Structure 1
Amino acid sequence: MPTPLRFATCFTLLACALAPLSGRTLPQPPTPAEQNLWKQQGRTLPVPEAQQPTLDPALPAYVPRRDIELSGHFKGAASDVLALLTKQWIAAFQKYYPKVVLDVPPPYAGSLGALELIKGDLQFVMVSRELKPTDISGFAEKFGYPPFSAPISGGTYRHFGFLDAIAFFVHPDNPLRQLTFDQIDALYSTTHHRGGGAITTWGQLGLTGEWADKPVHLWGVKPWNGFEEFIRQRALSVGAKRGEWRPDIHFTETVFPISPAVAADRYALGYAGLAYIGDDVKLLSLGVKTGGPAVAPGIEEVYQARYPLSRLVFFNTNKRPGQPLDPVLEEFLRFLLSREGQQVVLDQATFVPLRAGQADASRALLK
């Protein structure tokens, strides 16, 4: 277990989380005033990364429908980080279909998922997180089937609050260079759906010498949270089998204290969004399968969707399995997944456009 005195200040008003770390100031939790403003206007866009992604040339061009005239008024909702992008998508789509009205009024909130569709006054929700169990169970209890959820954009590389990619990291003295999803499951879960037993020491991860018998001090975000849900779904869960966290993880209420905590403990391992990670910890490359390639959390790896903990933006709606969507909503989704739809993402210079294979996978969900 970590020495309590070394971490006491990290939990005192998040003092450690708010301090500059090795030349880079980490983000601060938003104030109530900022949160209220975001609900009405959406979040202020971050300064674009100096290195921008490119559009995948294999994305299909959008071909508007000419066999029928699309029209109607549809109401949706959007996460606060997606408010502006959603409006830009709608404006571009309406150039093809001027008789279609897609209305996405405030309030905007990062907590939006699928439960908002239950009341029936919304036809779609633009969501900046994965669906959590209560989204799926609450929706299924009402309709008898799960909500339709399709990725429509990548997240970001390291923009605070804008679905930054997630990385695992250790103290800079630690010689470990990479982890696999199998090892993350063995370290962090009680369920071990990926097989194998629990990993509790650095020696079990291949380290030798003074590190071999030292315990791994695990850090993570307390459930429920979008960061831990993403890790749980990607690394701890397999198919319909949901992974469960070990109870002895050092859980924090928010993601902010984790990087400072790991920087202060030679034997710590933690995860956070790249925007929340200081320069005084060491990032690990990640491999999905044991024996497979390990990918570093670099900007180009995120842009090319090669890094396995890159995030996604989702379009959620009510679609009965085996039945088509309303033609307007289906065409809107097809536009989002086209070259022109992803060009809107690229032009905004915040989120990462989908690669062609990702767009193909989302389009296949319509069948």
Structure 2
Amino acid sequence: MKLKVIAAAVIGASFVASAALADRVDPDLPEYEPVSGISGNMTSIGSDTLNNLMTLWAEEFAGFYPNINIQIQGAGSGTAPTALTEGTAQFGPMSREMRTSEIQAFEDRFGYPPTMVPVAIDALAVYVNQDNPLESITLPQVDAIFSDTRRCGYDQDITRWGQLGLDGAWENRDFTLYSRNAVSGTYAFFAENALCGGDFKDAINEQPGSASVVQGVSESINGIGYSGIGYITSQVRAVPVARDEGEEAYPVDHEDYPLSRFLFVYVNKHPNEDLAPQQAEFLRMVLSQQGQEVTARDGYIPLPERVASRVRGELGLD
């Protein structure tokens, strides 16, 4: 579908533009102008990564429409497709694209696929404790730390910090591995892009939310974990990541950081019909100046207008 093509085509170029906008919003984004007659209840079920951002967007939306109420549930991206298919949610935030089987289940019920809406850009950070002196890491090393399969090509299992070049008291320290759980889109994205499609080690500590991963790393001197950059705290550091040995390691706010991704909200939109007014206005607000200011405040990278305008056009919101 067209929105999917847009997302795939512009993620590289848009991240270049958006990284420079991490602290400010594209001035070409339109101001949101409220309309009359918007009230009622809506539900959002899906991504934990997007849970806080959806809550902040809902609060911003309620500022325009006091008679609107949006319930937010963020158990993981894997809960969004079922909620949309069963009609228990109007919004399905996801930190990954839907799988073919999830799209098929929706299409079997409605006769058309769900609509994928890019709403923000995230950088998936590799976190270590604030007192850890590690300066950088490569994706093959990340793979060798977190997986048994080592599909990214590293020549040995990594079980000690000394294997990453740390010495002294760090040399023989092992890792405490923190990960999201399998229902999470972050878990799936990390497995595909940092583990080259491989399998996690049995020793990982699976956490129900991104904040729990960061908290675990902050409380463990040997901790290492991953989650969205929006969850960073002063007790952890996001380590610069290189694609391979000998290549430059980039920080999370750089346009060439190798673990960047779109964040999505899926909706049920008939291809020949408009969205319900409440859904349409919420997404119009998200894709506006005010909505993307919320994105930046929450620590994520706002969409540039050239991406947002294409998405609004595909949704019939312009």
Please give the TM-score of this superposition, normalised by the length of structure 2.
0.59
Cα offsets for 1:91-121 (capped at 9, x unmatched): 75x8xxxxxxx98645432226232211236
Secondary structure at the residue paired with 2:200? Answer: coil
Contact 1:343-1:353 at 8 Å conserved across structures = no
CA distance in 2, matches of 1:203, 1:353: 31
Cα distance, 1:104–1:296 mapped onto 2, change above 3 Å: same
Structure 1 residue 236: Cα displacement: 2.6
Distance across 2 between alignment mates of 1:103 and 1:318: 23
Q: Which runs of 5+ in 2 are unaligned?
A: 1-21, 46-50
Q: 1:55 to 1:231 in 2, by over 3 A?
A: same
Residue in structure 2 matched with residue 19 of structure 1 by the alignment: none
2: CA distance, partners of 1:198 / 1:182: 10
Query: Residue 337 and residue 246 in structure 1: after superposition, are their counterparts in 2 closer, same or farther (change >3 A)?
Result: same
Partner of 2:95: 130
Higher relative contact order (CA 8 A, sep 6+): 2
Q: 1:287, 1:224 → 2: CA distance?
A: 25
Contact preservation (8 Å) 2:149, 2:199: yes
Counterparts of 2:260 and 2:70, CA distance in 1: 28
Provide the residue aligned with 1:86 in structure 2. Answer: 58
RMSD between aligned residues: 5.0
1:318 correspondence with 2:283: no
Q: Percent identity?
A: 18
Pairing of 1:1-367 with structure 2 (within 5 A): 53-57=23-27, 59-61=28-30, 76-78=42-44, 81=52, 82-86=54-58, 88-89=60-61, 105=69, 107-111=71-75, 113-120=80-87, 122=89, 124-125=90-91, 127=93, 129-131=94-96, 137-138=101-102, 140-144=104-108, 147-153=114-120, 166-169=125-128, 172=131, 174=133, 176-201=134-159, 207=165, 214=172, 216-221=174-179, 223-224=181-182, 226=184, 229-233=185-189, 235-238=190-193, 242-251=197-206, 254-255=212-213, 256-261=215-220, 263=221, 265=222, 269-271=224-226, 279=235, 283-288=238-243, 291-297=246-252, 301=253, 314-319=264-269, 323=271, 326=274, 333=283, 336-339=286-289, 341-343=291-293, 349-350=297-298, 352=300, 354-356=302-304, 359-360=307-308, 363=311, 366=314
Give the number of the structure whose alpha-carbon radius of gyration is greater: 1
Q: Would you identify which runs of 4 or more consecutive aligned residues in structure 1 move more than 6 Å?
A: 70-75, 208-213
Give per-residue Cα distances to partners, 1:32-86, cap 9 Å, x unaligned: xxxxxxxxxxxxxxxxxxxx931123x444799xxxxx99999642366324523
Label 1:243 to 1:63 Cα distance change in 2 as closer, same or farther (>3 A): same
Gap change, CA 1:60 and 1:85, over 3 Å in 2? closer
Cα contact 1:194–1:236 (8 A) shared by 2: no
SS of the residue 2:116 aligns to = strand
Quote the offset at 1:173 in angstroms: 5.8
Residue deviations 1:134-154 (CA, integer Å, cap 9, x gap): x87455324247643323135
Residues 121 and 232 of structure 1, relative CA distance in 2, 3 Å threshold: closer
- How many Å separate the matches in 1 of 2:170 and 2:219? 24
Structure number with the higher helix fraction is: 2
Secondary structure at 1:190 match in 2: coil
TM-score by length of 1: 0.53
Matching residue of 1:35? none
Q: 1:324 to 1:167 in 2, by over 3 A?
A: farther
Q: 1:204 to 1:330 in 2, by over 3 A?
A: farther
Q: CA contact under 8 A between 1:152 and 1:312: conserved in structure 2? A: yes
Distance (Å, rounded) in 1 between the aligned partners of 2:205 and 2:81: 30
